[in-house]
Structure 1
Amino acid sequence: MARSAELVTSPAGRLAVALAAVHAARPGAIRTLQLDDADLGNRRITLAGRTHPLEDLTRQFLLAWLEHRRRRWPPRTTRT
């Protein structure tokens, strides 16, 4: 699984691969994932209404995506 995730270059893509491979998350569940669905403190994630333990690899990719999102949000607009 880790080798598959290495082929994906974006943090969001790596997280999606981990969710699909480890948790058997379907594309619809991945697309509708909300920030509130991830409980990092209790190491749990809710996918399609079902709560799953958050194992190390998916947690690592989730943290990387959150950091990427933090650096890029809100989107910067350029003034003309």
Structure 2
Amino acid sequence: MQLMTLREQLEQGPPLSLEEREQLHELVRNIEADIEVESTTRRNSLVDRVDRAVERLGIDRPDLAGTLGNISVSLANMEI
């Protein structure tokens, strides 16, 4: 799954600031929680949060932004 790929990139890719790393780990936890809970309201905001992370990381970390973009598309396809 794309979340596993994102975790691997976080651990093996170029270093991120502690704040960026924590934000992305928190985002992964939120995605996993939302998938489990399947709450429509939370799911809509989840896609927004993923999209904002893609925008933030787009220039500096295109690898992470690409993986998060794929996750966003997958969530949208699952109607999350």
Shared fold (TM-score, shorter chain, > 0.5): no
> Normalising to structure 1: TM-score of the pair?
0.38
Bigger relative CO (Cα 8 Å, ≥ 6 apart)? 2
User: As a proportion of its length, which structure holds more strand?
Assistant: 1
Q: Give the structure with the higher percent helix.
A: 2
TM-score, normalising length: structure 2 = 0.38
